[in-house]
Amino acid sequence: MSTVILSGAAVRRRSARFGTRAFGLVALAIATVGFITYMVRTVPVVAPRLPRAEAVAHWPAALNAALIVAGGAALVTLVVVRRGRAPISAAVSVAPTTGFHWPRAMGWQAVPRRLVLTGAAVSSLLAAGAALSGHGLWFVGLAALLPWTPLLVYEIVWKRERYGLFATFLAVAFIQTLHMGEHSMQVLQMLGTHGDLAHSHGVFGQLDFETVHFVADTLLWLALGAFLVLFRGANRWLWVAFAAASLHQIEHFYLFWMYLVDRGTYVAGGFTGIMGSGGVIGSPLGRPYLHFSYNMIVIVPMLVALWDQARSMDARSAIPVSICRQPSRTRSRSSWSL
């Protein structure tokens, strides 16, 4: 009887949480669409543009890029299906989840609070000093990140020993958040430069070239596919993130191919890609707005997936050992701590 009551309470808590989440995601989507629409209408991208005949000339390469990504996505799906889907740990449904709380697995656990505060203070001082000294934006960003590096590395290593593969997932999500920050800064710079793409490169503008974009986004795509396989497709939000990353990856396969094979067309406007304004297919979105949107639809479900799994781990750690005891085969199939 008590089990039924507990399960019913858990269902009600989860329903309330998902209702709040749905509202938040819809609000974020509306805000993002509104912001991008405003930027497209009032700050058009100032950049070279190819004639339509030249823009579509490399459509076979775009098709090949789509086929490569589709093959990779199909392979990931096939491997997950063959391994067998594993439901997210049942511990989530019985965990005490009353009210909002930040998951412990996503917070600072190994690094003492005083060191976190010290790192924040040193980071702020270094960034302010770099800015007042007249250094470039990239130097200010580097100065702000430098004090955090040893703390973050130590924390991730500690989490790796305790949580297994989840720590790698957390690290990848953190890096992708920084990547999203770069795209956000670039879009904001478009306001100040009146859409001049040549002077809107984010914080670390020296890294704003096609090889870096290709390597970073390809590694993210591969990582999300690997997480789906290793986690047995247990988290539906991870599927959403992988699908969005796959769409983004088609663009980068095509763009990197053009960058290597036909640099002249690339520089003359081919860098808009497939779906960018003036691209092979085209859309109203210039390249910075398009890739901001791509990264947004990747990072949001990725962070939701991370959040759910972190709460799952909190829940499992709160259950008495006697409840957690189960056959080792069952436990390994539902665990994310690989």
Could you state, in chain order, the average pLDDT of each consecutive group of 10 residues for the chain (338 residues)?
46 61 93 95 93 93 97 96 64 44 89 95 94 89 93 95 92 95 93 89 84 95 95 90 97 96 93 94 94 96 93 69 42 43
Domain count, the chain: 1
Residue 147 has a CB neighbour count (10 Å cut-off) of: 18
Residue ranges in 164-286 assigned as alpha helix (H): 165-192, 210-230, 236-261, 263-267
pLDDT confidence of residue 16: 56
* Short-list 23, 21, 30, 39, CA closest to 183: 39
Inter-CA distances, 322 with 4, 17, 314, Å: 18, 28, 17
Note whether 244 and 298 are within 8 A (CB).
yes
Note whether 88 and 308 are within 8 A (CB).
yes
What 3-state class would DSSP assign to 196?
Answer: strand
* Domain carrying residue 176: 2-334
pLDDT confidence of residue 335: 43
Tokens 């430069």 appear where? 193
Residue type, 49: R
Q: Which two tokens stand for residue 41?
A: 């209408």
Note whether 333 and 325 are within 8 A (CB).
no
pLDDT confidence of residue 171: 95
pLDDT confidence of residue 74: 97
